[in-house]
Chain A
Amino acid sequence: MVRKMLGAVFVLLALLATPASAASPLTNVSQQLICQCGCNMTVANCTHQDCMSAPAMRTLIQQKLDQGLSEEQVVQYFVTEYGEQVLASPPKKGLNLVAWILPFAVIIAGAIIVYLALKKWVFQGRTSQVEVKTEAEEDDEKYRLRLEQELKQFGERGYR
């Protein structure tokens, strides 16, 4: 079960490596860059009416693309111009890898803890099962009848 989950996570991680998109180069690039008007949105998404930055950046991107630069080169151009903070998400290298990997590392570590805890509890369950007391058989029969009756009365209430 847990192994299956971990497997699923890895498959998904592998899929991550290939984020494909059908949009135009302009959209692709402008989705990777943050608008500089302070809105915290990507250039593609900024709709602030008084935003001076997004339209200008869009024009610039188109210009660079028309000059024959590839998408990566245009993005790189903006990074050298504005610094790393123009990127909508941190590049997957150096310290930034921490941000990309840590969530999954935490989940995997958590999965291991969950697995160990479950194992412990199942073990506890097996041992305590033996301990259930079975003294006074005729007494038990009386209780068993009562239990059946009460269960019938209990109806179909779920957990409150």
Chain B
Amino acid sequence: MTVFAVIVLTAAAFAFIAYPFFKQRGYSAVSTGDQKSRELLSRRDTTYSMLKELEFDYQSGILTEEDYRDLEARYKRKAISILKDADDLEKGSEAEEGIEAEIRRLRRTGTKQAGDEVEQAVAKLRRVGKNQAGDQVEEAVSKLRQTRGKFCPQCGTAAKADDRFCASCGAKLR
């Protein structure tokens, strides 16, 4: 009885822990979320809370009018600069997305000379690309240069030369 229970327990625990390896798709795991925008959001909320609190403290008499006006103006300026940063970030990522799409398109069309072509196009894009997006593009480009492999015809993700299937979408590679 005990032996049986122990075997069942062990098997169940093992199966449960190993299950994610056999699952086809949809890992719940860590999403890489956008840290910068999250941080901005959090800072925005903190500043808003402060503004609210200032108003309330003023209303209930903890702050004098003079202090309140002064602090309010200060935190409003701060909030506005956060809003601006957020907008800049958004513009940046839009531009970036455009670049990404272009790269993917180029990769899909290209076969043998794809590498060079992409390289050229990317170089051009980089010149045009907005400042904020620059770093990301730079990074992507340096990765592209390192691998020099082939690209998936389906989704445009790069693959190593000896890969047989796409690591991203699973399509068969030529």
Contact = CB atoms under 8 A, between A and B. Distances in A.
Direct touching of A and B (C-beta under 8 Å): yes
A134 B83 CA distance: 14
Contacts of A151: 48, 51-52
Secondary structure type dominating chain B contacts: helix
Contacts, number: 35
Interface residues of B, number: 16
B12 to A, nearest CB: 38
Given A156-B52, A159-B49, A144 B76 contact: yes
Contacts of A144: 76, 80
A147 B76 contact: yes
Interface in A50-80: none
Contact of B78 (A132, A146, A160): A132
A143 B78 contact: no
B52 A146 contact: no
A133 interface: yes
Contacts of B45: 154, 157, 160
Nearest to B77: A132
Interface residues of A, number: 17
Interface in A133-159: 133-134, 140, 143-144, 146-147, 150-151, 154, 156-159
A21 interface: no
Interface string A34-48: 000000000000000
Interface in B45-85: 45-46, 48-49, 51-53, 74, 76-81, 83-84
Given A140-B80, A150-B48, A158-B49, 16 more contacts: A132-B77, A132-B81, A134-B77, A143-B83, A144-B76, A144-B80, A147-B76, A147-B80, A147-B83, A151-B52, A154-B45, A154-B48, A154-B49, A154-B52, A156-B52, A157-B49
